[in-house]
Amino acid sequence: MAAIFTFGAAAMAQESPEPKFEKEGDLIKGTFYYEDGSVQQMGTYKDGKLHGEWIAYDAEGKKQSIATYTKGVKTGKWFFWSSDKLTEVDYDNNQIAGVNTWKSDGTLADN
């Protein structure tokens, strides 16, 4: 009986599942996982660099952020969700060009 308990405890202490990579045209889609197998983040690569949209989720499966890359460079609007606000960060050529934060009631927060 003790041997079975030890095996079960070892199985539960496993690390996160290996990331999954799939070819999609000229892109490679990467999916990364939490220890329980739920999706932690996913997005695409082009020529070995982050490229396109990346989405991250918390351990409960709620969206935490959406980001956009162009050949490894941060671009466009990025969004970050928390329990009480949504933050939008505008990137231009890897530099922050602007930040807006909205409260949970939909009003713009002071930045």
Q: How far is the C-alpha of 30 from the C-alpha of 32, rounded, in Å?
A: 7
Give the per-residue pLDDT at 15.
Answer: 67
Q: Note the pLDDT of residue 70.
A: 95
Please state, in angstroms and rounded to a whole number, the distance separating the CA atoms of residues 95 and 57. Answer: 24
- The amino acid that residue 71 corresponds to is K
For residue 72, give both structure tokens. Answer: 């490894």
- β-bridge partners, 69: 52, 74
Q: Is the dihedral of CA 46, 52, 58, 61 positive or negative?
A: negative
**Cβ contact 65:80 at 8 Å:** yes
Report the distance separating Cα 22 and Cα 1, nearest Å.
42
CATH architecture observed for domain 16-103: Single Sheet (2.20)
Tokens read off for 88: 């939008």
Give the model confidence (pLDDT) of 16-56 as tens digits.
799 999 999 999 999 999 999 999 999 999 999 999 999 99
